[in-house]
């Protein structure tokens, strides 16, 4: 069996950044396995700009952002295999992969980094009544068709869901000559960035209907019309509010789900809130030597944070390999919890022996909060209390923990992040 020090599953932004940082940490034998025919992942189809403001202090398009990391992978002569599907990861880190060129084969990995990204929530998971004709696409599929393949999915479009991909596609389809008639959003607020609502919808006078959902799809062979209706506070359609739109295309932008079939099969313990693995301060999963980063761990809104997180995963994997795969024994382990408006944290445990001087804990809130406080408790003692003008579910938040502060509390059991009104 062939062997590598680190095998990275996925050659998107997370996999690329993890590979580069593992190399910089001194690991020679690194292999990236990528399912698509090129590196770069979803960034290849995200041709709009606005990427990289944090990392590179300039506004790049998706392909340009990806190229910055692909160039580093090439410079560092990091090995990668394209058109390669990973079928299985075992608990002792044997990776089973398959490609048309090489058939099925196995690789023994010193450490594995999960960087498989996420998938869009499909129609089947949305319970939309009506026929099942052609012309219904996830927004990301439409994005790939338009931007990579060069095909227009349709000319008259209704979009369900106001996530960023849906908003971006509303503009993209409009620029390419389609008529986007309406964007319907089930929630009373949009999960998309304000900038996208203004520049993708308002610029082109595309109406955004909040608290609305699709109640009927017409068309036997192909979509001919979509009916939307307003919903009440329990998300039930209100009779009499129906509006029918003739169209040939329905795009769905209704959330992203980390793609963890491999992780589940390997027995990695999952966080039901994020649908991603539970990880410690080193971004290591419940299986020793298996690390996770990027959208497979939790869905991000900014790729810059994916790169930052992946860098950490690459460094952690390198450290694990250099230590000969031996875990440090003992150490002071602290649980990290999210309550009162905070939905989840990454990581969920911290071993103070293994943490850097500063540790970033990322989290999301479950609702829109104005002029609220992000509070951090060390057991019952409040140690941080930061006022935020706005907190929104669509914007990932973070706090930074200092190792020396944790070292002062040898009996500390739980760190809790809460959102407080005062």
What does the binding site for another protein look like in residue numbers (CB under 8 A)? 44, 47-49, 59-64, 67, 146-150, 175-176, 193-195, 197-199, 202-203, 370, 389-390, 392, 394-395
**Of residues 49 and 99, the one with the C-beta less far from another protein:** 49
**Of residues 125 and 148, the one with the C-beta less far from another protein:** 148
Q: How far apart are CA 348 and CA 303, in angstroms?
A: 22
> Given phi > 0 = left and psi -120 to 50 = alpha, else beta, which region is 260?
alpha
**Least separation in angstroms between CB 300 and another protein:** 15
**Least separation in angstroms between CB 414 and another protein:** 29
Q: How far apart are CA 201 and CA 198, in angstroms?
A: 6
**Least separation in angstroms between CB 407 and another protein:** 35
**Of residues 60 and 262, the one with the C-beta less far from another protein:** 60
**Of residues 131 and 189, the one with the C-beta less far from another protein:** 189
386: enclosing H helix or E strand: strand 381-391
Q: How far apart are CA 416 and CA 94, in angstroms?
A: 36
**Least separation in angstroms between CB 8 and another protein:** 22
**Least separation in angstroms between CB 1 and another protein:** 32
**Least separation in angstroms between CB 357 and another protein:** 29
**Least separation in angstroms between CB 206 and another protein:** 14
Q: Count other C-beta atoms under 10 Å from residue 176's C-beta.
A: 11
**Least separation in angstroms between CB 139 and another protein:** 16
**Overall residue count recorded for the chain in this entry:** 422
Where would I find the beta strands (DSSP E) of 26-175? 30-33, 49-51, 60-61, 79-81, 84-89, 94-99, 103-114, 118-120, 136-138, 156-160
**Of residues 84 and 348, the one with the C-beta less far from another protein:** 84
Tokens of 13: 């932004």
Q: Count other C-beta atoms under 10 Å from residue 102's C-beta.
A: 11
Q: How far apart are CA 275 and CA 255, in angstroms?
A: 12
**Of residues 65 and 291, the one with the C-beta less far from another protein:** 65
**Of residues 317 and 391, the one with the C-beta less far from another protein:** 391
**Of residues 59 and 340, the one with the C-beta less far from another protein:** 59
372: enclosing H helix or E strand: strand 369-378
Percent helix, strand and coil across the chain, each rounded to 5? 25, 35, 40
The secondary structure of 282-296 as a DSSP string is T-B-SSTTEEE-GGG
Q: How far apart are CA 164 and CA 395, in angstroms?
A: 12
């Amino acid at each position: 069996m062939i062997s590598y020090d680190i095998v990275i599953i996925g050659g998107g932004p997370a996999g690329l950044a993890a590979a580069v940082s593992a190399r910089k940490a001194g690991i020679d034998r690194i292999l990236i396995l990528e399912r698509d025919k090129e590196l770069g992942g979803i960034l290849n189809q995200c041709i709009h700009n606005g990427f990289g403001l944090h990392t590179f202090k300039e506004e790049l398009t998706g392909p340009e952002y990806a190229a910055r990391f692909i160039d580093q992978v090439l410079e560092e002569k990091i090995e990668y295999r394209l058109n390669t599907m990973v079928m299985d990861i075992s608990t002792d880190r044997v990776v089973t992969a398959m490609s048309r060129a090489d058939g099925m084969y196995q690789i023994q990995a010193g450490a594995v980094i999960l960087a498989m990204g996420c998938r869009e929530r499909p129609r089947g998971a949305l319970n939309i009544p009506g026929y099942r004709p052609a012309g219904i696409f996830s927004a990301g599929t439409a994005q790939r068709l338009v931007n990579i393949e060069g095909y227009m999915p349709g000319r008259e479009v209704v979009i369900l869901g106001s996530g960023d991909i849906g908003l971006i596609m509303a503009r993209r389809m409009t620029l390419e000559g389609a008529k986007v008639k309406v964007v319907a959003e089930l929630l009373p607020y949009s999960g998309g960035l304000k900038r996208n609502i203004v520049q993708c919808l308002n610029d082109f006078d595309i109406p955004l209907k909040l608290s609305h959902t699709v109640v009927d799809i017409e068309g036997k062979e192909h979509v001919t019309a979509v009916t939307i209706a307003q919903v009440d506070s329990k998300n039930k359609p209100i009779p009499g509010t129906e509006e029918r739109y003739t169209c040939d295309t329905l795009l769905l932008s209704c959330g992203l789900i980390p793609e963890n079939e491999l992780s589940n099969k390997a027995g990695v313990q999952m966080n039901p809130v994020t649908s991603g693995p539970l990880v410690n301060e080193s971004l290591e999963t419940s299986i020793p030597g298996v690390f996770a980063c990027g959208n497979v761990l939790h869905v991000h809104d900014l790729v810059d944070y994916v790169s930052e997180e992946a860098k950490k995963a690459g460094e952690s994997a390198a450290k694990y390999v250099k230590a000969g795969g031996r875990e440090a024994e003992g150490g002071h382990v602290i649980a990290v919890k999210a309550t009162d408006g905070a939905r989840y944290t990454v990581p969920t445990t911290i071993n103070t022996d293994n943490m850097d001087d500063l540790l970033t804990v990322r989290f999301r809130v479950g609702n829109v909060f104005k002029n609220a406080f992000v509070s951090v408790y060390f057991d019952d003692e409040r140690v941080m209390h930061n006022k935020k003008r706005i907190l929104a579910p669509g914007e990932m938040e973070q706090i930074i923990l200092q190792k020396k502060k944790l070292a002062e509390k040898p009996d500390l059991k739980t760190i809790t992040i809460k959102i407080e009104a005062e």
